[in-house]
Amino acid sequence: MSRISFLGIGLMGAPMVARLLDAGFSLTLWNRTRSKAEPFAGRARIADSPAAAVAEAQVVITMLENGAVVDQVLHHSGALAQLQPGALVIDMSSIEPGMARRHGARVEEAGGVYLDAPVSGGTRGAQAGTLSIMAGGEEADFERATALFQALGKATHIGPVGSGQLAKLANQAIVGITIGAVSEALLLAARGGARPDRVRQALLGGFAGSKILEQHGERMLQRDFQPGAPSRIQLKDLRMILDEARAEGLSLPLSQRVFEQYRALLASGHGEVDHSGLLLELERLNGVRLDGELP
């Protein structure tokens, strides 16, 4: 079986590495802070540099913070110059679609092939191997990654390079706006005298039913805003969505509106609450609380 180098052993990377090892893949790991890779020392090689990791692999996976870090680790470090002919580079980080296309072009220049394959499902999905993987690139390259993706979750081939990132942006737009919709619906019903927990329950089986109503709705009712996915990340994603829309000449009224709401949420100091905490901004705007307590 071909050797995989995995670059970026963070909150998402670590459980993904664990699943790949459990599935029997041979891994070389690299992380800027080497100590985060050490727990795997008995089961995987640990490389001293991105270039050393890239040099010995037929498949290179990156799971990094943003597009600039991917650029730094793969390109500016000189790692791509070490790429084996025909090696497959899979960037599973969430970055701008345009940047993914530039990375793809660089990998091709270096003699490799490239997939962008961001994920949704969070750390829980990474641990359980139930990530939703959205992949952009050539069909043949996608098929080459099948066994590997199967160890991590469910993969869908969305289109050419950049399409995985576009699907991730679509995901984040729907998630952010639906959180806003659930906030407004529950607050409206509660202020009118209905029990918001019963509203959630009644709506779950109908057309208003969604994962967000189920999980984030419950967090709103419990006022449990431990992340999950912090609001500052949701804001960053919405900014990427609006940047991409602008680049395509598109106006997206609801994405724009919910972006402004998350910006206001952060401005009032709530960057670290879960993204379901958008309710707090709606409560602040209206001077009332969902649970009827004084604000």
The least CB distance from residue 24 to its own copies, in Å, is: 25
CB 153 to its own copies: min, Å: 9
Residue 33 Cβ vs its own copies, minimum distance, rounded to whole Å: 29
Q: Of 54 and 152, which CB lies nearer to its own copies in the complex structure?
A: 152
Residue with tokens 């498949």: 59
What's the burial of 250, exposed, middle or buried (CB within 10 Å: 0-12/13-18/19+)? exposed
Candidate residues 97, 104, 112, 129; the one interacting with its own copies per rule CB under 8 A: 97
C-alpha distance across the termini of the chain, in Å? 59
In the region spanning residues 178 to 207, those forming contacts with its own copies, defined by CB under 8 A, are: 178, 180-182, 184-189, 191-195, 198-199, 201-203, 205-207
Q: Which stretch binds its own copies (CB under 8 A): 8-16, 56-64, 152-160, 219-227?
A: 152-160
The set of residues, in sequence order, having a beta carbon less than 8 Å from that of 228 and lying 6+ positions away, is 122, 219, 274, 275, 276
Q: Is 36 one of the annotated active-site residues of the chain?
A: no
Report the residue from 29, 92, 148, 169 that binds its own copies according to the rule CB under 8 A. Answer: 169
In the complex, what is the shortest distance from the CB of residue 70 to its own copies, in angstroms, rounded to a whole number? 19
Cα distance between residue 81 and residue 53, in whole Å: 12
Taking the C-alpha atoms of residue 107 and residue 97, their distance in angstroms, rounded to an integer, is 15
CB of 207: closest distance to its own copies in angstroms? 5
Assess 235 for contact with its own copies (CB under 8 A): no
Counting contacts by CB under 8 A, is residue 173 touching its own copies?
yes
83, 17, 71: which is closest to 45 by C-alpha? 17
Q: 29 near 47, Cβ under 8 Å?
A: yes
Q: What is the DSSP letter of 40?
A: G
Burial class (CB in 10 A: 0-12, 13-18, 19+), 76: exposed
Structure tokens at 184: 């407004």
Binding mask 28-67 for its own copies (x = CB under 8 A): ----------------------------------------
Interface of this chain with its own copies, residues 250 to 279, rule: CB under 8 A: 250-255, 257-258, 260-261
Closest CA to 115 of 148, 141, 147, 81: 141
Catalytic residue among 36, 154, 168, 211: 168
Which range in 20-28, 43-51, 52-60, 239-247 contacts its own copies by CB under 8 A?
Answer: 239-247
Binding mask of the shown chain, residues 99 to 128, with x at each position contacting its own copies by CB under 8 A: ---------------------xx-------
Strand, helix or coil for residue 62? strand
How far apart, in whole angstroms, are the C-alpha atoms of residue 15 and residue 209? 30
Least gap, CB of 194 to its own copies (angstroms)? 4
Active site residues: 168
